[in-house]
Amino acid sequence: MRDWLCWGRRRRQNKVFFMVSVSLALFVTGAFAWSVYDPYYGDATRYLVMYWVWGLCALSLLFALGEYKTSPLRKGRERGHLFILLYIGCLLILARPLNAALYYAF
């Protein structure tokens, strides 16, 4: 995994951006996994909290884009540098409809 992400060739700034974006993405993933496991339909407070968590996912995407734009790996088109953008993008797309389905109870 370390070789796939080319961890040794990243600058300190890129490592910080990457770790912040990954930690926020894992928090959002955990929050929505908990929400799927224990839904509480119609609770407006929980709906707003999960909407805020979805906003954290968007913030994570900004950090991931910052890492991508400043990455030395981008020029060489190395493997692994777009993984976090793909994961957070999918999470951002799926989290909003999931939140609506869980709390509006279609």
Q: What is the pLDDT of residues 41-55, one digit of tens each?
A: 777 787 788 888 888
Residues 6+ apart with CB under 8 A from 23: none
CA atoms of 10 and 25, how far apart (whole Å): 20
- Residue 33 in domain: yes
- Residue 32 in domain: yes
Give residue 31's identity as a one-letter amino acid code. Answer: A
- Residue 1 in domain: no
- The residue segments making up the domain with residue 27 are 7-104
Question: What pLDDT, on a 0 to 100 scale, did the predictor assign at position 1?
Answer: 64
Whole-prediction pTM: 0.75
- Count how many domains the chain has: 1
- Residue 2 in domain: no
The pLDDT of 68-82, averaged and rounded, is 69
CA atoms of 51 and 96, how far apart (whole Å): 8
**SS3 readout for the chain:** CCCCCCHHHCCHHHHHHHHHHHHHHHHHHHHHHHHHHCCCCCCHHHHHHHHHHHHHHHHHHHHHHHHHHHCCHHHHCCCCCCHHHHHHHHHHHHHHHHHHHHHHCC
The pLDDT-based confidence of 62 (bands split at 50, 70, 90) is confident
- Residue 79 in domain: yes
Is the pLDDT score of 81 beyond 80?
Answer: no
